[in-house]
Amino acid sequence: EQGHQEVVLTGTQLGSYGFDIPGAGLVCLVDRLLNQTDVPRLRVSSLQPQEMTQELLELWDNPRLCPHFHLPLQSGSEAMLRRMRRRYTPLQYANAVEAVRARLPDAAITADVIVGFPGETDALFQESYRLCQSIGFAGIHVFPYSPRPGTSAAHFTDAVEQRVKRERMKRILALAKE
């Protein structure tokens, strides 16, 4: 018996695929995979909110594409996203989710959330919590911030206490379960 075959396109910046190749890009790659292979199921692992174009979403008209979108959120606070050097705002994120749901109402949307990034106050955390609550994700991967050598955040002096990170993690995990 042949097992379930699935190809997963994955990468840390998947939406940037082919930026250095004239005439290439993620839309072209997925389109070619759907039209030039017989792979029964294709999954796109992770996309940034700013990469959710109508052209890309139209590809999901093909039932071989798994209707799952993993859109890393990281934070629902505009101030925190700026501090994390993310290239999107909570509004752009919410608009990307809305675009997915308008095209594919039954799609599963999942996210990554970091709690306890340096400088995350209770009020800024609440912004993240409220955005996650309003979106209603199919699942949330929650990570406590930990410093990484060589990053600018490793030099920030306004660290969040471990107990606060644990409490925030519990709150987001409970929301995800809900």
Q: Residue 11: its pLDDT value, please? A: 82
Rounded to 5°, angle at Cα 24 from 20 and 29: 125
Asked if pLDDT for residue 150 goes beyond 90, the answer is: no
pTM of this prediction?
0.90
- What's the whole-number average pLDDT of the chain? 93
What is the mean pLDDT of the segment spanning 110-122?
97
Asked if pLDDT for residue 38 goes beyond 80, the answer is: yes
pLDDT band at 1 (very low <50, low <70, confident <90, very high): very low
Asked if pLDDT for residue 113 goes beyond 80, the answer is: yes
First to last CA, the chain: 38
Residue in this structure with the two tokens 């294709």, named with its chain if needed: 42
User: In whole angstroms, what is the distance from residue 116 CA to residue 152 CA?
Assistant: 15
Asked if pLDDT for residue 12 goes beyond 80, the answer is: no
